[in-house]
């Protein structure tokens, strides 16, 4: 009997993406018996140096991988779920959403100071409008600096004193074995994560028998509890008509009986001046409906007028790049 053919897994080239894809490759081999080859693909989001809000955010880390799937260069792809557009693409299927890593944002600070201990006007770096908004809700005095780059680059800004702190996803640090750099975890009471943060998405073609067989094999990695939670979060994001880079946070988790989901969400001005934050509960079996209902409540309270806007009474200075002097 011949050995199972290798499966080609498409992945971004970043250190984190390769670490995530390597973890999934090992799980796929364990579940399916097929060896897995990583195929590195460069996305527009990887080569652009513009802020995510400027290049659109939605799909910039995904489109090239989906093109490679569509034209048969790869058999399946691994994405950070928070990067996926909420619209379902033609001819592709989300075959599995594995168990979610811790979804929280974390603070990495100079001198190991907590958010409350940072000095007045401290410079804190992030490329996420969602994080910018919630940081300013917590500490309006902060100078939030737009930064991009890999984990080492952003942590390096803090290590050399160019920034007082940066905000990162704990999930990425965990997958890179870098939890030691964390000063403080910002849980849901202070900062709601991006919809889908901490979860991975395994996507493949759905158009032919061979692809359907692969999708069935990959389904062995699916975690129903994670899928239900992120389905509620992404349904809310879609109903708000907000993209991946919008200042929207959401987190769903199952209640103790695993039959109810509790969903919390926030939409805010980028400057944090105004926000709408609500929560709701609903059956796990109707996760998408829960997300849409909570989005409708948020829209009724003015969420659409807040997302991505700065309040006219609270103009913000243009953030200085790392390395510039304080004003």
CA distance 33 to 248: 40
**143 part of a folded domain:** yes
**194 part of a folded domain:** no
Does residue 235 share a domain with residue 216?
Answer: no
Task: Identify the three-state secondary structure at position 14.
Answer: coil
Average of pLDDT values for 92-112? 96
- For the chain, the domain total comes to 3
CA distance 57 to 129: 10
CA distance 158 to 208: 50
Q: Is 90 a catalytic residue?
A: no
Confidence band (pLDDT; 50, 70, 90) for 239? Answer: very high
**125 part of a folded domain:** yes
The pLDDT value recorded for residue 243 is 67
Structure tokens at 111: 């001198």
What number of other Cβ atoms are within 10 A of residue 189's Cβ? 7
pLDDT tens, position by position, 165-181: 999 999 999 999 999 99
Mean pLDDT of the chain: 87
% the chain with pLDDT above 70: 86
Of 224, 228, 222, the C-alpha closest to 252 is 228
**324 part of a folded domain:** no
Does residue 73 share a domain with residue 209?
Answer: yes
Which one from 71, 75, 83, 274 is the annotated catalytic residue?
83
Supply φ then ψ for residue 316, to 5 degrees: -110, 145
Query: How much is the pTM?
Result: 0.87
Does residue 55 share a domain with residue 203?
Answer: yes
* Paired residues of 203 in beta bridges: 77, 94
Does residue 240 share a domain with residue 302?
Answer: yes
Does residue 93 share a domain with residue 109?
Answer: no
Does residue 83 share a domain with residue 26?
Answer: yes
Of 170, 171, 177, the C-alpha closest to 108 is 170
Domain CATH code at residue 39: 3.40.190.10
- DSSP letter (8 states) at residue 129: H
Highest mean pLDDT among 41-55, 83-97, 253-267, 288-302: 288-302
Does residue 91 share a domain with residue 173?
Answer: no
Range of the domain at 266: 229-306
Q: Tell whether the model's pLDDT for residue 314 goes beyond 60.
A: no
């Amino acid at each position: 009997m011949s050995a199972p053919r290798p499966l080609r897994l498409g992945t971004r080239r970043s250190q984190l993406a390769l670490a995530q894809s390597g973890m999934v490759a090992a799980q796929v081999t364990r579940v399916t018996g097929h060896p897995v080859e990583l195929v590195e693909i460069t996305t527009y989001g990887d080569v652009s140096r513009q802020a995510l809000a400027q290049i659109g955010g939605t799909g910039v880390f995904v489109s090239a991988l989906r093109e490679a799937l569509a034209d048969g260069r790869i058999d399946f792809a691994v994405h950070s779920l928070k990067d996926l557009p909420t619209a379902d693409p033609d001819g592709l299927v989300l075959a599995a959403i594995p168990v979610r890593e811790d979804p929280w944002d974390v603070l990495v600070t100079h001198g190991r100071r907590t958010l409350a201990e940072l000095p007045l006007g401290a410079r804190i770096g992030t490329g996420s409008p969602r994080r910018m908004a919630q940081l300013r809700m917590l500490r309006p005095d902060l100078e939030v600096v737009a930064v991009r780059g890999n984990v080492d680059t952003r942590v390096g800004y803090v290590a050399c004193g160019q920034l007082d702190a940066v905000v990162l996803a704990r999930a990425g640090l965990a997958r890179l074995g870098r939890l030691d750099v964390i000063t403080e975890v910002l849980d849901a009471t202070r900062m709601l994560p991006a919809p889908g943060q901490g979860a991975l998405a395994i996507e493949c073609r759905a158009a032919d028998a061979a692809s359907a067989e692969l999708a069935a094999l990959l389904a062995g990695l699916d975690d129903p509890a994670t899928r239900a939670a992120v389905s509620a979060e992404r349904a809310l994001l879609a109903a708000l008509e907000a993209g991946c880079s919008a200042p929207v946070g959401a987190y769903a988790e199952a209640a103790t009986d695993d039959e109810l989901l509790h969903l919390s969400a926030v939409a805010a001005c980028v400057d944090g001046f105004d926000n709408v934050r609500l929560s709701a509960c609903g059956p796990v079996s109707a996760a998408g409906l829960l997300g849409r209902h909570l989005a409708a409540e948020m829209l009724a309270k003015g969420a659409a007028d807040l997302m991505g806007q700065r309040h006219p009474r609270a103009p913000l200075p243009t953030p200085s790049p790392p390395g510039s002097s304080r004003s």
